[in-house]
Every structure is written in structure tokens, then in C-alpha cells.
Structure 1
Amino acid sequence: MRSSVIEMKLKVLSWNVRGLYEKDKRLAVRSLLRNVRADVICLQETKMEVLGGDVVREIWGGRFVEWSYLPTVGTAGGVLLCWDNSVVVKKDEEVGERGSFLGELGDVAHQWCEPWCVGGDLNMVRWSVEKMGNTRVNRSMWAFSAFTDELNLVDLPLQGGNFTWSNGHHMSRIDRFLVTSGWEEHFSEVVQSCLPRPVSDHWPILLDSGGVRSGPTPFWFKNMWLHSEGFLERVRRWWSTYIVSGTPSCMLAQKLKLLKTYLKLWNKETFSQVEVLKAEVVDILQSLDAQEVSSGLLGVDVAKKEAAK
């Protein structure tokens, strides 16, 4: 996909999620995306043959979204690409043929003269240190490194971890972003980082173009509110107490603004402990991931990690 990007601090997220068919997993992905506030996300291994707008909106959560996807082949594969259409404008789209990834990437490099990036589960490593327990540089590593150098691609250091995949016994860095030198010049503060993984055996990776996004924090309606006893009656009661004036559309906007303020305050008073617990779970997962990388996990630690997820 080729895109035009408005001048801003762009965030791109890539993650091999190992399936999106389970609702709990989709909610975990949505929670992560809310925290990251990425402008473009690429989810691999969706394992869904049909992927519609209902699933996209459940994951994305916001209004400004467009998407494209590749269905699974058999029971494997599947890619979902979503972007904030108030930030990124799609110019064209092309689906490559199955074959050599590096060969196809080389074709892209010769067609595009503007800054670009590529990211995802590339299923290959560049250096021996990117595969735990490995000390030899094999032919595929040489080929990958030579190709990267030939195209003058920048392999940004990975912050927040050394590996992006683990099955509990083996670890490697097979997920990454590569950017052109033009991208690095345009986004001079760009960094690549590894995020906590609430689900999947892959860590999400984030390409952050730097800086803090300006503007107000968006308001999110939380589905859990609907399960709170008396919620709808509480909203009706609040709504009936708002006294505003002006045109019908102006009055509606004012009442919605008041309702948003009430909901934020009520949410803080009612569910603040939930946010604390979520933060604690993320801390536990990060701690166990770090332990897995440094010394491995015992049986009790594996059980603790599954319980936290």
C-alpha cells in the first residue's frame, strides 16, 4: 500500500497476533492499541478467512479508520492493515505474489522515490545474536544483511528488548521495521521499540516517529459501562438535568459535552481500581517476559503468565 502522510509524528505498529477469531484476544489487542494510539497498524496471522468492518471497529475503537486485509490460506496466514484516515491517505494498493520477500522488496525500492518503511514478521534474522543460543552467521543472515546494505535501509536499534518471538524454549528477533535513509531524515527522532505482549508468542513492535502528539485526548466509550447496574438510568437522569440554550444542534453538542464530563468522573470513581489492576497485570507480564529472556521460566512461572493473560 502506498500512502500520503500529513506532516506529523507518525506511529506504526506491527504485531503477529496468532489469530483474531477469539473475542478475548481482540479485546486485548484493542486495549493495547488504545494505549499506543498508533496511526497505522499491521496485524499478521489473523487466521480469519473473512474479516469485516465489525471486527475492525471492535479492534480499532475509533471513527477514523480504513482497512485492507488478506484472507488466510488454509488455516494459516491472514493480514489486517488499518490506518487512521484523518492522518494517512491511501494512494494505491497492490498485493504481491508469493515468492521471495527480498526480491519483492527490491522491486518496491526501485519504484518508490519517497521515504518509506517496511515492517512485520519477516521470519529471518540479520545477526547471530538475534537468535538465542546461536553463534554462527548462516547464508540467509548474510543475504539479508547484504540486501539491507544494498538498498541503504536503516535497521533501527530495538528498544525495550532483544527478541520479538519466544515459545518458552527458543527466542529470536524475527519481527522488525526497516526504514529508508529518507524516512530517518524526515523523522529525525524515529525509534523502534518492543511493547509488552498481552497475548501471542510475538511481541508487538512500534515504529514511533518521535515526539508527543498534540491535541486533546480522545474520549472512549467503554463497553463495560453497559454492564454496570443502573448505567442507562443514570445517563437518562444526567441528561434530563442539563439546561442549555441555542439551536437544536448547538444544544445537543453542549449536552453531549456535559455528558462526557460526567462519564469521565463517574468512570474514575467507579472503575479506577480496574485500571490499577490492568497496569499491575501488564507489569507482571513484562517482568515474566524479562525473566524468560534472561533465565527462562519455571513451571509455576508459566502458569502465572497464563493466569495474567
Structure 2
Amino acid sequence: MVHETLRITQAQVVCLQETKLQQIDSALASFLGAYRFDKFFYKPARGTNGGILMLWKDSFVELQNCKIGRYSVSADATIRHCATSFKLTTVYGPSHAAEKEIFMRHIRNLKPADDTKWLLLGDFNLMYEARDKNNNNLNLRLIRQFRNTINRCELKEIHLQNRKYTWSNERRYPTLVRLDRVFCNQSWGLHFENHALHALSSSHSDHCPLLLYKQEGPRRPTPFRFENI
């Protein structure tokens, strides 16, 4: 499923969450990326839980100064054709309620200096609005805390254009939730204002991949395709 998605989207940067892998070498990273990427960073899984893999095409973007956090992988990204730089962070949030406040504190600690462009994405395993779930089984305290975290980090969510929810428990009467998101700060949003976010097919997974890309049109010769799986 991942290989087919990468073939179709032609993404230049890919972030995979919940790899469940404690070690990833260059051969395995190349395989997981469908042999389309030159470089990678990864966060090991804890046992068989979690794990993050960030893959990229070195001809398109330079990623350096990687920092591995308890729930995140961050790097300084520079797009080669325009020399634009920003902080890129991908996260995998804990599913256990006892860790969620620690995770939100972790996000707040990741906030860069005000003059730094920041793109934050991943599977947060949290909601910040009641409408992000298709039933009323809600933890309002965590919803408020996540909303407060977003506000304190001065982030805005990039609108997902074609889908309301990103995860399903795949039962006959499914619970549907929006757990996967892409956020940016004002500086990133102003510089990359022509970008759009779309959900891709979820027929082979309980999560749907998200594709962030630069919309084609006048004065937009080089599409930026960034995939979160």
C-alpha cells in the first residue's frame, strides 16, 4: 500500500508513523520508501509501539540537525531550488490517556523561535474540536488542553480539503475520528500560501495518508509534495 501511494504521489518527503521497528538501516529504509529516497532519519519504536521514519529526496531538500524526541523527529529543512528553510517536525502521539498531557507538553517544548518557519504534522491521537469525532464519546478536558497547546504554539491547521475524518476503527458501525493533521505557524503559512492538503485512499489502513502539495498554476513551476502516512 505504501509503495503504491508513493508511486502515485511522487512525494519528495515522506513521514511514516507507527513503524513498530526498533532498528532501521539504509537497506530497510530504502525498501520502505519504495527505493525512491536517498536519505532518512528515524525514531525507534518502544518495543512494538510507535516508531517514526522520515524519508526524503536529497536532490530536492536538505534535512539536517535531526533531533529525536520522545514522540517526535525534527530537522532543519532547506528546499534547494529556492533556498527556503524551515523547521520540520513529525510526531506520533500516544494512545494511552496517561501520556497525552506529557505529549502536549512535548509539543510546546518543540516550538521554535518566532522568526522560524515551522511545519508540524503527524498522528496526534488527539482532537481539539468535538466535531472531529462522529459520536459524543469525548474527553472534553483533553480537547481543551490540545486546543490550548495549539494556541500557545501559535499554530494553525492546514485545511484538509476532501475528508472530515482520518481514522476508523473499521467496525460495522465505525467510530470515525480526525487524528492525523498538518499544522504550520504564521511564517510558514505566509511563505507557502499556495499549498493544499488532501487525504488519499485508506482502503488498506485504518488511517488515511495525507498529501501536502504545491498547487499547480502560474508562477508555481516546482510542486512541493510532502506525504504523511
TM-score bin, normalised by smaller chain: 0.7 to 0.9
Change (3 A) 1:188 1:152: same
Change (3 A) 1:182 1:74: same
State the partner residue of 1:199: 204
State the partner residue of 2:49: 76
- Aligned to 1:33, the other structure's residue is in SS state helix
Change (3 A) 1:53 1:110: closer
Shift of 1:97: 3.4
Q: Distance in 2 between matches of 1:155 and 1:90?
A: 23
TM-score, L = length of structure 2 = 0.74
Q: Give deviations 1:133-179, integer Å, cap 9, x for gaps.
A: 12767011111112212322111221221101001221100110111
Report the structure number with the largest CA radius of gyration.
1
- Aligned to 2:111, the other structure's residue is in SS state helix
Q: Distance in 2 between matches of 1:147 and 1:64?
A: 33
State the partner residue of 2:146: 144
State the partner residue of 2:29: 56
Letter in 1 for 2:26: G
State the partner residue of 1:166: 168
Q: Give deviations 1:98-120, integer Å, cap 9, x for gaps.
A: 66222222222244632111111
The aligned length equals 188
Q: Is the 8 A contact 1:127 1:137 kept in 2?
A: no
Residue 105 (1) aligns with residue 101 (2): no
Change (3 A) 1:46 1:64: closer
Structure with higher strand content: 2
Q: Distance in 2 between matches of 1:37 and 1:143?
A: 36
Change (3 A) 1:172 1:63: closer
Change (3 A) 1:136 1:47: closer
Shift of 1:211: 2.5
State the Cα RMSD in Å.
2.2
Change (3 A) 1:35 1:134: same
- Aligned to 2:183, the other structure's residue is in SS state strand
Identity rate, percent: 29
Q: 2:216 aligns with which of 207, 211, 216?
A: 211
Q: Distance in 2 between matches of 1:42 and 1:139?
A: 29
- Aligned to 1:94, the other structure's residue is in SS state strand
State the partner residue of 2:134: 132
Structure with higher helix content: 1
Q: Distance in 1 between matches of 2:63 and 2:138?
A: 42
Letter in 2 for 1:36: T
Shift of 1:63: 5.6
Shift of 1:40: 1.2
Change (3 A) 1:105 1:189: same
Q: Distance in 2 between matches of 1:53 and 1:158?
A: 32
TM-score, L = length of structure 1 = 0.56
Q: Is the 8 A contact 1:117 1:177 kept in 2?
A: yes
Shift of 1:214: 4.6
Consecutive unaligned residues in structure 1, runs of 5 or more? 1-27, 216-309
Q: Give deviations 1:30-70, integer Å, cap 9, x for gaps.
A: 11011111121110111122222222222334565200112
Change (3 A) 1:209 1:146: farther
